[in-house]
Amino acid sequence: MPLWTSAELEKLLQAKATGRFVAEGVSIDSRAVEAGDLFVALAGPSHDGHDFVAKAFENGAAAALVHKAGSYPGPVIVVADTQAALTALGAAGRTRAARTKVIGVTGSVGKTGTKEMLGAILSAQGSTHISLGSHNNHWGVPLTLARLPRDSVYAVQEMGMNHAGELAALTQIARPEVAVITTVGPAHLEHFSDLGAIVAAKCEIFEGLSQGGTAVLPADHAYFGTMEAAAKQAGAANIITFGSAEGADLRLISAKVVAMQTVVEAEIGGGAVDYTLPFIGGHWAMNSLAALGAAIAVGADASRAIETLEAIRVPDGRGAITEVAKDDGAFILIDESYNANPQSLEAAIDALSAVATMRQIYGTGRAIAVLGDMFELGPTSRALHAAVATQLTTKEIDRLFTCGDLMACAYEAAPEAMRAAHADDAEALIAALDAEIRPGDVVMIKGSHGMRMDRIVRALKSPATSNAS
């Protein structure tokens, strides 16, 4: 079955196509268009997709969805607004996949990692559709659902927000059978008065939950009761809990770092289980329990799910650990470069400390933190950045490199012996960091996505910089 036909789209969007076509995929990026895709020309603040329609056809697009009249080199459907049309397309994709069990995942920290774990678990047990990268916003959610194959058994949709009301809109499109909140922390404080307001916004995910659906919730959270009440009020028939708390359905007993992995001891449904994750840190253990809880909620086999977790690949930018070669020896690189907020940074510092301590048993290695600004933290932003220095000191981090105006607060508050270098942006740190690293060191890189900390990761892995293999 094709993903979309011109006849289906005409009926759905109440608009005429200039030619007949069959679409096997949907894309909003002309560079990523594959043969047979429907290209949706979105108009954003920086780029207008209409400028790239011709390129999309060059790359094999079957047709384009546009809201600007013009001369195009292939079939198009002209609508009033392409964003609204994409939203309608996503909602329709979800509606026709009536037999697909959709799991929505949100949270201040861990939603992408949990989504990837859950996607891997379910893919091993049935046809599964997973949102790519962080396609979790007003265009990412409908795009993912517009791509949803008609015969998928499962779909895993990440859902994010930074303003009240955003999740309410997204969940009405996704209409999940299972809604997961990984945790809620002080992210996006620029747009919220306090943590309670962020919790309320995250609980909007339950507004689209199907009747009789399941909520998977963090039992240890101070606002657990609020989340549970919101889920039940929205019609959730089942609540599955995970955490260290007594009585949690999936209870974490311990998480120990051993040989660049995390050994997890847990209880699931009262039964003892042990497994090893190729990740570093207790936060990954919690993410794995959230993923297992959601998998169990849609009928997946728990034993097979744990086997999948043990073999999962760590996504780039989200805790991947690499041994990087230099002329005089190798060092360990922990890539946490994708994004940052206070809660995820604290977990990353814990992981850095754990790995470095393990290295020091053998008489080698220093712990080096390379940190960029954390965005959207509101009026307390500078204080939150300055507090990072205390976390680094408590965890006995040896050297600190920082970039950005906000993270300068952490640099200035850190002990003099810890301070290695500060710069305005990530790229300006590369030379000083490369010169600092010694064989056996453990280097962790983290910052908000807009700080482009991934440039440092790429440079350190580059043979021109580090002679990495």
| Residue 364 pLDDT class (50, 70, 90 cuts) | low
Average pLDDT of the chain is 93
Q: Is the pLDDT of residue 312 over 80?
A: yes
pLDDT at residue 445, rounded to an integer: 98
pLDDT(332) > 70: yes
Residue listed under structure tokens 């399941």:
214
Residue 458 has pLDDT above 70, yes or no: yes
pLDDT band at 280, cuts 50/70/90? confident
pLDDT digits (tens, 9 = 90+) for 175-195: 999 999 999 988 767 778 899
Residue 37 Ramachandran class (φ > 0 left, ψ -120 to 50 alpha, else beta): beta
Residues 369 and 401 in one domain: yes
Q: Are 202 and 109 spatial neighbours (Cβ–Cβ below 8 Å)?
A: no
pLDDT for 365 equals 82
Give me the number of domains the chain comprises. Answer: 3
> Do the domain assignments include residue 315?
no
**pLDDT at site 468:** 34
**Is the model's pLDDT at 153 over the cut of 90?**
yes
| Per-residue confidence (pLDDT) for residue 466, from 0 to 100 | 42
Tell whether 270 is covered by a domain: yes
Domain membership flag for residue 228: yes
Based on the fold, state whether residues 116 and 190 are members of the same structural domain. Answer: yes
Residue 361, pLDDT > 70, answer no
- Provide the 3-class DSSP secondary structure of residue 157: strand
What's the confidence (pLDDT) of residue 363? 58
Residue 242 in domain: yes
- Binned at pLDDT 50, 70 and 90, residue 469 comes out as very low
Domain containing 52 equals: 4-80
Query: The domain that contains 17 carries what CATH number?
Result: 3.40.1390.10
* 61 and 103 co-located in one domain: no
Which of 310, 329, 352 lies at the terminal end of a domain, its last residue?
310
**Cα–Cα distance for residue pair 138/140, rounded to 1 Å:** 6
For 336, phi then psi, to 5°, come to -115, 30
Query: Measured between alpha carbons, how far is 393 from 409 in angstroms, rounded to an integer?
Result: 14
Query: Which region among 109-113, 313-317, 383-387 has the lowest average model confidence (pLDDT)?
Result: 313-317
Q: Both 293 and 333 in a single domain?
A: no
CATH code for the domain in which residue 278 is found: 3.40.1190.10
462 part of a folded domain: yes
pLDDT confidence of residue 442: 93
Are 183 and 230 in a shared domain? Answer: yes
Q: Are residues 365 and 230 in the same domain?
A: no
Please state the rounded mean pLDDT for residues 65-74: 95
One domain, residues 104 and 220: yes
Residue with tokens 């047990």: 125
Q: List, for residues 198-256, the tens digit of each pLDDT value.
A: 999 999 999 999 989 999 999 999 999 999 999 999 999 999 999 999 999 999 999 99
Residue (of 160, 143, 127, 42) closest to 93 by Cα position: 143
Q: Please tell me whether residues 288 and 338 are part of one structural domain.
A: no
Percentage of the chain lying above the pLDDT 70 cut: 97
Same domain for 34 and 182: no
* Judgement on whether residues 290 and 392 belong to the same structural domain of the protein: no
The span from the CA of 453 to the CA of 216, in Å, is 32
Residue 346: which residues within 8 A CB-CB, separation 6 or more?
A: 391
Q: What is the pLDDT of residues 94-124, one digit of tens each?
A: 999 999 999 999 998 889 999 999 999 999 9
Name the CA dihedral angle for 299, 303, 304, 307, rounded to a multiple of 10 degrees: 140
Same domain, 62 and 185: no
Tell me the average pLDDT across 305-315: 91
The CATH number given to whatever domain includes residue 370 is: 3.90.190.20
Q: Same structural domain for residues 74 and 95?
A: no
